A and B are shown apart, each in its own frame.
Chain A
Amino acid sequence: MPESEPGLIRGYLEVLAGQLPGPIVEELSDGLTETHRSYLARGLSPDAAAEAAVAEFGSAEEILAGFARVNPARRAARRLLGLGPVVGGCWVAALATSRAWPGPTPARVVLGLLLVSCIGLLAVAALRRRYRVAFYSGIAGCVGFAALDASLIVGVLVVAGVASWVTAVAVAVSSARIAFCARVAVVSQQNT
């Protein structure tokens, strides 16, 4: 939006820029500029055109709520939290039947702390409506879960050398989760 545009529009965009990523704000700014111009072309004064454009665009709260709903990291966080017990159950069954808990006690503690941190980050992403907070928490949670899954797979297959059908199922679901997290990172990158 050029410097000469009315303060009402600048202020409106500043509110959006406080919570949304730059590329999304750029897109909204382009749309708002076009809306403003259409009212100017109908003969309204710059300030009246700005008021009409902002009114037509809808409230900033409405737009922020709309983007919060389609935040890819937020939606991914909800799916990962929903599927977490399934993946966890597979690993508990695999480790209990093979009796091959990976690594020494400190390594297990680190894995446990990583798990709790990931769940916390995903919960923040799933529940917070602020786009940026939900976005970065969700991405961090995805990366953490991918690292956790990779550690479990390497620990059980390579270090402990366990091979059973229960372990194979756990490895398969963890691999699927790693692929899902990678896809979320790519989609999130494309959408910001």
Chain B
Amino acid sequence: MPEPVELLRQGFEEFVRPHLEYMYTLSVRLTGRHTDAEDLVQDALLRAFRGFPGLRNLQHPRLWLTRIVTTAFYDRLRDTQGPDTVSVDEKFDLFDTIVEEDPFPYSDRVHLDFLELFDDVKVLEVLQRIHPSHRTALILAYVYGYKAREIAEITDAPLGTVLARLHRGRRQLERELWDYAVHNRLLTSPQEAHT
């Protein structure tokens, strides 16, 4: 006769399989690389498998799996990343920079024109330039639509920490969008446009 734990583990594959695509996509967004994402999903699956017998509430599998993937991601970073406090240029304002630099001199929708320079691949590349804990908060909030209190639960962090990470992440995002566009020559300089 199967042990109770074995009985509980039966059905794990059935439980988790519908969410594999989600786990993989989240992992690609967090790590920025398909190879790292596969490793992360395997790590998360192992953790989920071990935790499955103790899972009492099966109503929110995505929230549970998101927490496991995110925790596994943080654990991987722990030894390689510096402190949570990276310097953020609080003075930089993307909205004003676009107006001042005027990269689309003949447009009356310069801000939309700027954002339209970024397809999904470029957005993913920009996100990878942001500090991992800030990037994680941004991805959970604005790609997946989690509320700040849910992100606090997922990342096991106080709400104030999550709000600070979101704030700093947004500041970095604006700066990195601009720097990416400049470095990759996505912008037409005013001089070029006028010649």
Partners in one complex: no
Chain B residues packing against A (C-beta within 8 Å): none
